[in-house]
Amino acid sequence: MGIWFPWLPSDRRRDDLSPSHREDHGEETSAAAFALVERSQNALRLSAVSPAAARLGLTAGLALADARARVPDLVCLPADPDGDAALLRRVLVDFSRFTPMAASDGPDGLILDVTGCAHLFGDEVGLVDQAVTRAGRFGLDVRAAMAGTPQAARALVRFGPGGITPEGHDRAAVRRLPIEALELAEGDLQALRRAGLKTVAAVDDRPRAALAARFGKAAAWKVDRVLGLEDIRITPFRPPDPCVVDRVLLEPISTDDDILRVVGDLLIETSARLEREGLGGRVFQAGFFRVDGRVRRVTVQTGRATRDGPVVLRLFRERLAALTTPLDPGFGFDQVRLSVVRAEPLAATQIDLDRRPDHAADLTGLVDRLSARLGAEAVLRFQPRDTHIPERAVRLVPANLSPPHRLHDAEETGPPRPLHLFDPPQPVEALAGLPDSPPRRFRWRRVQHEVVRAEGPERIAGEWWRRLEPTRDYYRVEDAAGRRFWLFRQGLYGDEAQPRWFIHGLFA
Amino acid sequence: MHDPALRLEALRRRLARMDGQAPSDASRFDLGHPQADAGLGGLNRRALHEVQAGSGADLASADGFALGLAARAAGAGVIAWIVQPMTTAEAGLPYGAGLADWGLDPERVLFVRTRDATRLLAAAEDALRSGALGAVVISVWAEPKALNLTATRRLALAAREHGAAAILVRSRLSAQAGPAETRWTITAAPSRALEDGAPGRPALTVRLDKNRTGAKPGQWVMEWRSDERRFADLASVFGDLVPLVAQRPAA
């Protein structure tokens, strides 16, 4: 289905006309003739015109001076291509409710692959009606056409009467279009006109080889594609997910219970589908389409592939309850889509006759629930890394990812390490004998500590292949009260800069 | 120490340990400290235990004691450690290498950071009820409003029903009475020095304030032995040879 907004820039700016202007012309702002002006090629040119201005003979590309000459009281507004693109994107996001395979087509159109989607919206006629209605909500004038291939749909909507072309009649419908529908270079079109070929039918009747010889292979391919003989798939703006299930609601819903009930129903359908393919989902995403066109997506992750509907529903419930910006239904959601973003093979499992508790599964279930409720960055595991820099030696990673591999043997023992580590290390003032004796006393958080026992230095040099970090000498010290600290001195005495002391961690 | 039945039980357990047999009562775990175990008769694994730091500066020691309890309670099971932002700001984040040095397996420790006390308690309850963990260490900062009597009762109930030990760590002394099975106050203690005056194994002053088994409160100075994963008594060990640390860094 091809969608074209012929007057997108001017429709968007209709409300920008000054109130006085609106008064002059009464309530009929659509009858106002105005144009959008941009600077191109060192001159001010019209980038877009309103329908009324077009009727007066103005077109895009005209110089502003010429336009003013023709229509002295033409109202001009500055062009804003970014704003136009943003509006088109919002419409694209809204129209992705019809199908996940949606893409923008130029700066003023959309192309949607609605194969197999029409039944959800009352067949093709209903689909086109809904598209027109929704575009109207954005305040845009719209044309729509449905055909068997994307290129045919584009040609029909921009250069033809639009409407739904029955299956198999694409070629006949496109043949009736003028040669502008081929969208070749202006010089090529002139040549075709001079040769007496005014419609696509005339071009089609000529042998393709002659066309290719005169205008190049690209032109011949274009003709084939427009006629629907060759089919290029569109690239959707969001790659489609492996498994997508939609539910269109007759009445918009806005309460949490209803939302969860619909999600639950969709999960049942999704589980059935996943089971048929022998897959389990790792990442599930629920898309909520608002009546006014906005879309909100909520994602949950699981540690292991699963098809268990109730388990995933519970994760969604935790997630929705814990959202930082709550799910705002506005006037209600009228479509809910559940997609499985990542799926993995999952064989059917056999339940033991004596049901032993599966601790591993319970643990991943707990991790999933806590991650859904608190966020994936809140549930962490320790992952060892192959580096001797203390703060990098062990990293905290979200527990949702697959369990980490051991990097080194457990038997390996090194110098003692503290239970707690400060990130970043906190500066302290320390008094130590030269050149590398342990500190005799130090001051941290406004408390003076007298060092009674100390061990060190343990020299940890920076990793030369990363960047030049100063060498650190670590000391394990104990104060009179029995508290043990991990201090280090950054830099050596005798260097240009004064060495500084830090506390990196606390021992128990 | 006056209850003969308890003393008998503690002696039996000590004998079993010396013979190399696992204690037969799986629902109790002990500290490995002869006097404390004899007095207490072991700690209930399916219960809530409270550990409080003697002062703000003793938070690291209290964490260490709690982890020791968790290690002994969980055995080979997974331990979850749930904290609030203030705790990590004060004492720093847990360090995986330090956990390994303590005798725990960092791969079997799950670390959960929550934004506030309410979420902390909800996560703790969820963790206890999951049945997948051996022990849950819950670090609270100061005296949050959410940690009232009802909340601690819920934690104790969850621990009892699902067989995981719940260890609540407070960053300062609290007068609140609660359903905890045992209450401990921990302060740092000077360690037994190694050669060259280096600090030795972690030493703590452990005071048992209250317990539900009826044993008398007491105070001991313990040191944690990470290789044996147990608390040893510090004051009474004099003649033992001090073991050298395996790899001494070059001085």
> In this predicted model, which residue has the larger pLDDT, B174 or B99?
B99
User: How much is the pLDDT for B82?
Assistant: 92
Q: Which of A406, A476, A482 sits opposite B190 (nearest CB)?
A: A482
> In this predicted model, which residue has the larger pLDDT, A293 or A273?
A273
All residues of chain A having their beta carbon less than 8 Å from the beta carbon of residue B190 are 452-453, 478, 480-482
| A67-76, B55-64, B135-144: least confident range | A67-76
The reply to whether A355 falls in a domain is no
pLDDT > 90: what percent of chain A? 9
Residue A398 touches chain B, beta carbons under 8 Å: no
The reply to whether A340 falls in a domain is yes
The reply to whether B36 falls in a domain is no
All residues of chain B having their beta carbon less than 8 Å from the beta carbon of residue A382 are 94, 96, 99, 106-107, 109, 111
The reply to whether A295 falls in a domain is yes
Distance CA A317, CA A405 (A): 32
- Asked whether the predicted pLDDT for residue B116 surpasses 90, the reply is no
Please report which confidence band the pLDDT of residue A450 belongs to, taking 50, 70 and 90 as the band edges. Answer: very high
State both tokens at A59: 């077109």
All residues of chain B having their beta carbon less than 8 Å from the beta carbon of residue A377 are 113
DSSP for A178-224, please give it.
BGGGG---HHHHHHHHHTT--BHHHHHHS-HHHHHHHH-HHHHHHHH
Distance CA B130, CA B153 (A): 17
Question: What residue of A is the nearest CA neighbor of B104?
Answer: A410
Residue B79 touches chain A, beta carbons under 8 Å: no
**Of the residues A295, A325, A345, which one is the last residue of a structural domain?**
A345
Find the domain containing A341 and state its range: 243-345
- Asked whether the predicted pLDDT for residue B137 surpasses 90, the reply is yes
- Asked whether the predicted pLDDT for residue A411 surpasses 60, the reply is no
Please report which confidence band the pLDDT of residue B111 belongs to, taking 50, 70 and 90 as the band edges. Answer: very high
* B193 with A379: Cβ contact below 8 A: no
The alpha carbon of A318 is separated from its chain's Cα centroid by a whole number of angstroms, namely 23
* A410 with B123: Cβ contact below 8 A: no
The reply to whether B220 falls in a domain is yes
Mean pLDDT of chain A: 82
The reply to whether B127 falls in a domain is yes
The reply to whether A480 falls in a domain is yes
Find the domain containing B236 and state its range: 41-247
The reply to whether A492 falls in a domain is yes
Residue A351 touches chain B, beta carbons under 8 Å: no
> In this predicted model, which residue has the larger pLDDT, A357 or A67?
A67
* Whether the bond into A81 is cis, omega within 30 of 0: no
Mean pLDDT of the region B7-32: 65
- Asked whether the predicted pLDDT for residue B244 surpasses 50, the reply is no
User: How much is the pLDDT for B241?
Assistant: 42
Mean pLDDT of chain B: 80
* CB proximity under 8 Å: A 118-157 to B: none
pLDDT > 90: what percent of chain B? 10
The reply to whether A498 falls in a domain is yes
Chains A, B: CB contacts within 8 A come to 193
Alpha-carbon dihedral angle through residues A468, A469, A471, A472, given to the nearest 10 degrees: -170
The reply to whether B32 falls in a domain is no
Mean pLDDT of the region B136-161: 88
Q: Are A482 and B189 in contact (CB under 8 A)?
A: yes
Phi-psi region of A328 (alpha: psi -120 to 50; beta: other; left: phi over 0): beta
User: How much is the pLDDT for B35?
Assistant: 75
State both tokens at A372: 């859904």
User: How much is the pLDDT for A412?
Assistant: 60
> In this predicted model, which residue has the larger pLDDT, A491 or B61?
B61
Same domain, A341 and A425: no
Residue B95's CB is within 10 A of a number of other CB atoms, namely 28
* CB proximity under 8 Å: A 423-452 to B: 423, 447, 452
User: How much is the pLDDT for B238?
Assistant: 41
At A367-391, the pLDDT tens digits run 888 888 888 888 888 888 878 888 8
pTM of the model: 0.72
| Alpha-carbon dihedral sign for residues A149, A154, A159, A160 | positive
From A149, A132, A130, select the one nearest A141 (Cα to Cα): A132
Instruction: Quote ipTM for the complex.
Output: 0.80
**Of the residues A301, A330, A345, which one is the last residue of a structural domain?**
A345
* CB proximity under 8 Å: B 146-205 to A: 187-191, 193-194, 196-200, 202-205
User: How much is the pLDDT for B249?
Assistant: 44
**Of the residues A345, A363, A390, which one is the last residue of a structural domain?**
A345
HSE (side-chain half, CA atoms, 13 Å) at A19:
0
The reply to whether B134 falls in a domain is yes
At A225-240, the pLDDT tens digits run 888 777 777 788 877 7
Pairing of strands A163-164, A143-146: parallel
The reply to whether A253 falls in a domain is yes
Residue A321 touches chain B, beta carbons under 8 Å: no
**Domain containing residue B128: CATH number:** 3.40.50.300
The reply to whether B194 falls in a domain is yes
At B42-80, the pLDDT tens digits run 788 888 899 999 888 889 999 999 999 898 888 888 899
User: How much is the pLDDT for A18?
Assistant: 61
Query: DSSP alpha helices (H): ranges in chain B?
Result: 4-19, 34-40, 59-74, 85-91, 96-102, 117-130, 149-162
Mean pLDDT of the region A352-363: 68
The number of distinct structural domains making up chain B is 1
* A410 with B105: Cβ contact below 8 A: yes
- Asked whether the predicted pLDDT for residue B213 surpasses 60, the reply is yes
The number of distinct structural domains making up chain A is 2
The reply to whether A193 falls in a domain is no
User: How much is the pLDDT for A391?
Assistant: 84
Kind and range of the H or E element at A94? helix A81-95
Burial of B214 (0-12, 13-18, 19+ CB in 10 A): exposed
All residues of chain A having their beta carbon less than 8 Å from the beta carbon of residue B197 are 453-454
> In this predicted model, which residue has the larger pLDDT, A27 or A271?
A271
Pairing of strands A43-49, A163-164: unpaired
Test the B interface: residue of A318, A324, A363 with most B CBs within 10 Å: A363
**Domain containing residue A277: CATH number:** 3.30.1490.100
